Copies of this chain bind each other. A is one copy, B any other.
Amino acid sequence: MQVISFGQAVDRAIEDAMVRDETIVLIGEDVPMLRAPLFARFGADRVLAAPISEAAFFGAAAGAAMAGLRPVVELYMVDFIAVALDAILNHIAKLEAFSGGKWRAPLVVRAPSGAGYGDGGQHGQSLWGSLASIPGLTVVVASTPADAYGLMTTALAHDGPVIFMEPKLLSEECLEFLGRGGRDTVTFDVPADGGRGVVPDPPHAIPFGSAAVRREGADLTIASVAVGVHRALAAAAILESDGISCEVLDLRSLRPLDVKTVVASVGKTGRLLAVDEDYREYGLSGELAAVCLEAGLSPRFDRVCVEDTLPYARHLEKAALPNVDRIIRAARELVNA
């Protein structure tokens, strides 16, 4: 049992798998420096620096996966997936279907996501909703080091394509690189249990499609992923003193979604608050509403999400993100109205 950082947990899951499986290669811009320990251990043959050509190296990673490698392909941030989407949407996600089930290709996309360090609207999106809408993909989002290790381990053993999202605000390494830059004059609202945590030893893989109940409660289900889970837990602690008992679900896997756990929880509490750092409309919050209605539930429902392009100014950004205040307000309204 060892307390490590979120970023270390991801790196370690990759490192451990690379030792076991020689077909795993790492591809991305600057990976020799960004993943220096891996580069030093496995060399330039397995840790490949790419030009700023996401469309080509994502497409190539897909081809390499079809031909027997297991590439982990990195984006600097998920926002930049827009230049490489074709490889994902029209190629890697469709291979299994197009080949009549005869050809599957293992590919893990490692994509830092999310805001909270004042980098503006092109560098703080989550976009998991849109990605999770694509048949043929698996989309997972970890919120703790243990889950990061466990989900990445499962991803690396999976025979189809997986999008692994890595919330930047939980990664000390990302934050240091993109936000702090060695200063002690800035602060970030990093959820303590997200940024560092125990990874069990030996660490275990976490299956896709299994949500975690982070806190049990009776009055209200708050379902979220990533940073939102920690905001929800913080809100739940405060709401408790109001006499509102919240159940907090960490969905972890958006595609497949753990419908059973969601339905069981909402069936019990009768109320659902979706907390999502991705955009509000046509995304995760809607999907949660749909699976509840499909299950015959009719919960009281609200959602705390990002509603517009993320603003740069830190006070505006904070207000735009699903923060503890917004969650508390919405929760109170749901329970008291």
Contacts and interface: CB of A to CB of B under 8 A. Distances in A.
A282 B282 contact: yes
A135 B301 contact: no
A78 to B, nearest CB: 11
Contacts of A55: 83
B284 A282 contact: yes
Nearest to A81: B85
A72 interface: no
A82 B62 CA distance: 15
16 contacts: A129-B133, A132-B282, A133-B278, A133-B279, A133-B281, A135-B307, A282-B287, A285-B286, A285-B290, A286-B287, A286-B289, A286-B290, A293-B301, A294-B301, A294-B302, A298-B299
A134 B309 CA distance: 8
Most chain-B Cβ atoms within 10 A of its Cβ — which of A287, A300, A307, A308? A287
B130 A282 contact: yes
Given A94-B121, A133-B279, A288-B290, 15 more contacts: A94-B122, A97-B121, A97-B308, A130-B282, A133-B281, A255-B281, A272-B293, A286-B289, A290-B290, A290-B303, A293-B293, A293-B299, A294-B302, A296-B300, A298-B299
Nearest to A91: B122
Interface of A: 55, 79-80, 82-83, 85-86, 88-90, 93-94, 97-98, 120-122, 129-130, 132-136, 254-255, 257, 272, 278-279, 281-290, 292-294, 296, 298-303, 307-309, 311
A82 B122 CA distance: 17
A238 to B, nearest CB: 24
